[in-house]
Every structure is written in structure tokens, then in C-alpha cells.
Structure 1
Amino acid sequence: MSSKTHTLHTSRLKNNCPTCFGTDGLEFTFTQEEKETPFFKKPATEINHKLYCHTCKNDIYPVNWTEDIERVFDYNKKIAETNKQYLKVKPLFYVLVIVAIVLVAAIVYLLIPTV
């Protein structure tokens, strides 16, 4: 089972970095994982977020966020729409379903005594 990560939304901030106090380096990135098997594809329900400062090259964790950063985070989280929950089945799934139906039909036909 493989997993891909899709970037949903990226946003540059004008807020001060809590580490280096720069005003032009903060960037929010919202991502979502998609699990893929030979039978189907399905996106995860949760959205992952990351705040990175390009000035001091550090990840800024939520413990260090200011109230202004939290307000901007809430706004950007609303913008970052998740991929709709879906289950995309692949052709191999359909082949296996058809084979299973044929096998069940063949077993039922052979086991029922003819009168």
C-alpha cells in the first residue's frame, strides 16, 4: 500500500516569526495524504499543517505560535479545502468481483441437483 501527499494550500504570512522575529519568512502548508492499493484510492480525512520560517530555516510548532498566527492559521485552514471523501476503485477490483460472481454461480449450479 503506497501513500501520496497532496498539497492543498500554501500561504505566505506577514506575521513576525517567534524565533527570529523576521516578518517575511513564514509559510503555512496544508497537506492531505492519499492511500493507494491495487484495488482502490482513498484520501485521508485529516489535514496536516506545517508552519515553516524561510528566514531562520526552522519549523515553528503550535506551542510557539502567537495569537496573530493562530488567527491567520484558522483563516487559512478554512481556505484549504479537503479533497472530498471518495473511494475510487480500480479495474482489478471489478475483475475480482466478476470472477467471484462467476465462481459462486458455478458452485451453485453444480451443487443443486437437477430433477
Structure 2
Amino acid sequence: MSIKTHTLHTARLKNNCPTCFGTDGLEFTFTQAEKETPFFKKPATEIENKLYCQTCKNNIYPVNWTEDIERVFDYNKKIAETYKQYLKVKPLFYILVVVALLLVAAVVYILIPI
């Protein structure tokens, strides 16, 4: 099973960094994970977000966000479009279903005399 991460939206902010007070380094990144197995591929339901300051090279956690940053976060979260929820099955899944049906049919044919 592998998990791939897709970047949905990236936004540069003009707000002050709560750590270094710089105005040109903040960047929001919204990502979504996608789980892939030999049988299917499915995106995660939740969106992960990260606020990073390019100036002081720190992650800014939500505890330190100001009201302005929260407002910009809400706006950008609406812009970030998630992948639609789907379950994409792979050919191996179909092969196993057909083999299972054939086994059930063979057992029923053998056990029930005609």
C-alpha cells in the first residue's frame, strides 16, 4: 500500500509572520493524501494544511495564528478543491471477483447432484 500526497492549492500571504514579523514569507499549502493498493485507489476525505514562513524557515501552527491569518486561511480553504471521493478498482480486483465466483459455482455444482 502506498500513499501519495497531492498539492491542491498553494497561496502566498502578505500577512505578518507571528514569529519573525516578516510580511513576505508566509505560504499556505493544502494537500490531500491518496491511498493506493493493488486492488483499488482512493483519495482521503480530509485536507491537510500547513503554514510555513520562508523568511524564518518555521512552520506556524494554528495556536499562533492571528485573526487576519485565520480569515485568509478560511478564504483559501474554500478555493482549494478536493479530489472527488471515488473508489477506482484495478484489474486485479476484477480477476479475484471472477475467480471467487467460479469457485463458488464449482462448489455448488459438485455438492448439488443433478
For 1:66, give the aligned amino acid. T
The count of residues paired between Structure 1 and Structure 2 equals 114
What TM-score do you get using the length of structure 2 for normalisation? 0.98
Work out the CA distance in 2 between the residues paired with 1:26 and 1:42: 31
Work out the CA distance in 1 between the residues paired with 2:22 and 2:83: 33
For 2:48, give the aligned amino acid. N
1:94 corresponds to? 94
Gaps of 5+ in 2: none
Give me the CA root mean square deviation. 0.6
Work out the CA distance in 2 between the residues paired with 1:13 and 1:97: 50
Work out the CA distance in 2 between the residues paired with 1:80 and 1:98: 40
* Aligned pairs (5 A) from 1:1-115: 1-114=1-114
Gaps of 5+ in 1: none
Q: State the percentage of identical aligned residues.
A: 87
**Shift in Å, 1:110:** 1.0
For 2:90, give the aligned amino acid. K
Work out the CA distance in 1 between the residues paired with 2:33 and 2:84: 12
What TM-score do you get using the length of structure 1 for normalisation? 0.97
